[in-house]
Structure 1
């Protein structure tokens, strides 16, 4: 199994385009969070999480690759597109390709929510 969470967090937080559109939270970090955001964070921000991670391509009953799916969520009170475009570029630079995208609106918080789903297949042990 390959764990890409820290690599994704570092790449999203260090992207100058995302830093400019998201800003920083009270701890001084670009507003990108694994799984959930802090309760008091102001929008816009990004959350992300791993959807699936499974072995693929076997030889002699040994997995050669991992197929990994991630979801990146953009949250904003206004247009999510500028943020989504930056996030998409970063994810593609990490070897992911976008397998889906959808616009949603969260009525309870009056927040726009862009769902971006990604997939990659990577060699194990290399």
Structure 2
């Protein structure tokens, strides 16, 4: 049943004009191609697993993503606005936020805001 949630999320991110304007460093799956471009967003699929079995068939899938916002000292003022726009977008496509952490990558001198979201897809939605 595993749904290609990465394709859905990727399309939603790159097609959102408000986010595209704010996130000048681009949207990346797992790894950023330009680590010097800020702010940038990196999304990582944490879980995509079948669930709710009946008659040996899954009735749903649980999908979880971490969306990381990376900023440097020049772009950190945009972090909150980017986070709010991501939250708006994620909720519009059916995800709920279950965690948020403000981090600082000491080795790279980069601010990192990690947002975690979850969505349950039911068989008929796919």
**Same fold by TM-score greater than 0.5:** yes
- Runs of 4+ more than 2 Å apart: none
Range with greater deviation from structure 2 (113-122 or 86-95): 86-95
- Cα separation, 2, equivalents of 1:57 and 1:66: 8
Q: Which residue among 32, 43, 46 is the counterpart of 2:41? A: 46
Coordinate RMSD, CA, aligned: 1.4
Cα deviation code 1:26-55 (max 9, x no counterpart): xxxxx0011110045511100001101111
Taking structure 2 as the reference length, the TM-score comes to: 0.89
Residues matched between the structures, number: 120
- Cα separation, 2, equivalents of 1:41 and 1:2: 33
- 2:121 corresponds to which residue? 122
User: Unaligned regions of 5+ residues in structure 1, if any?
Assistant: 26-30
Secondary structure of 1:36's counterpart equals coil
- Cα separation, 1, equivalents of 2:52 and 2:71: 39
Residue 50 of structure 2 is aligned to residue 69 of structure 1: no
Q: Which residue among 29, 34, 52 is the counterpart of 1:34? A: 29
User: Unaligned regions of 5+ residues in structure 2, if any?
Assistant: none
User: Could you tell me whether the CA contact under 8 Å between 1:101 and 1:115 is conserved in 2?
Assistant: yes
> Aligned-pair distance for 1:88?
1.0
- Cα separation, 2, equivalents of 1:40 and 1:50: 20
Structure with the larger helix share: 2
- 2:99 corresponds to which residue? 100
Cα deviation code 1:3-25 (max 9, x no counterpart): 111111111111121112112x6
User: Could you tell me whether the CA contact under 8 Å between 1:75 and 1:112 is conserved in 2?
Assistant: yes
